[in-house]
Amino acid sequence: MNETMVTLVGNAASGPVEVETPRGGSVKFRLAVQPRYFHREKETWADGPTSFYTVWTRRTLAANLTSSLSIGEPVIVHGRLRIKEETKDDRRRLSAEVEAVAVGHDLNRGTAAFRKVTKADPRLVEPAAVRAAEAALWAVESPVNRAARGAPTGAPGDPSEEPFTGPSGGATDDGVNQKKKAVSAVS
């Protein structure tokens, strides 16, 4: 079967949107493509009409796209062109869609930092009970005890490094007993 493969250069007109389809989970976004040409009579560069495409991604490309693309960023899309025809309110509409094979930032207009995604071995991933116990520990263990065992004293994502003080104004040391309660409650 012959397919029309296209490469489009434009800007993300929308952010990635996760969509559940009959073929599985997909991510779509809108791409705005506006050609520039040199106007000989005026001797200046001019913008042509903007075309919009719906870009569909699946599997790993879809997962990586959600954490890599924002509105307005310059991107290059390579994939299969599909023209859809719809009739709505007795009006015929045509829309262009691209089933993407590759999506990347346009490095002619900026820089990007690539991060390779590796799949974790399921045998090495911590069980949910261990992660829940650690979360409960963060909720009850005092920063003084975390500091004593060499752990960060702030909550995850909390830039504060000040020690926790109890009602008396002094640093508390009851985190050990609370830790045992939290771990036994999760077990």
For 12-22, the pLDDT digits (tens) are: 999 999 998 88
Residue 46 makes CB contacts below 8 A (sequence gap 6+) with 36, 37, 38, 39
Residues 6 or more apart whose CB falls under 8 angstroms from that of 136 comprise 182, 183, 185, 186
Query: Tens-digit pLDDT profile for the chain (187 aa)?
Result: 688 999 999 999 999 999 988 877 899 999 999 999 998 999 999 999 999 999 999 988 998 999 899 999 999 999 999 999 999 888 999 999 999 999 999 999 999 888 888 775 555 555 666 666 666 666 665 666 666 666 665 555 444 444 444 444 444 444 445 544 544 554 4
Q: Tell me how far apart the alpha carbons of residues 17 and 1 are, in angstroms, rounded to a whole number.
A: 30
What tens digit of pLDDT does each residue of 113-126 get? 888 887 755 555 55
Q: Which amino acid is at 50?
A: T
Residues of the chain with CATH 2.40.50.140: 5-105
Q: How far apart are CA 69 and CA 34, in angstroms?
A: 19
Residue 66 backbone zone (phi > 0: left; psi -120 to 50: alpha; other: beta): alpha
The rounded distance, in Å, linking the Cα atoms of 73 and 71 is: 6
Tell me, yes or no, if the pTM score tops 0.85: no
Looking at residue 138, its pLDDT comes to 60
* CB burial of residue 128 (10 Å; 0-12, 13-18, 19+): exposed
Angle among Cα 182, 159, 116 to the nearest 5 degrees reads 90
What integer pLDDT is reported at residue 2 of this predicted model?
A: 80
**Model pLDDT, residue 21:** 80
* pLDDT at residue 139, rounded to an integer: 62
Distances (CA, A) of 1 to 4, 5: 10, 12
pLDDT value of residue 163: 45
> Parallel, antiparallel, or unpaired: how do β-strands 51-58 and 91-105 relate?
parallel
CATH superfamily membership of 5-105: Nucleic acid-binding proteins (2.40.50.140)
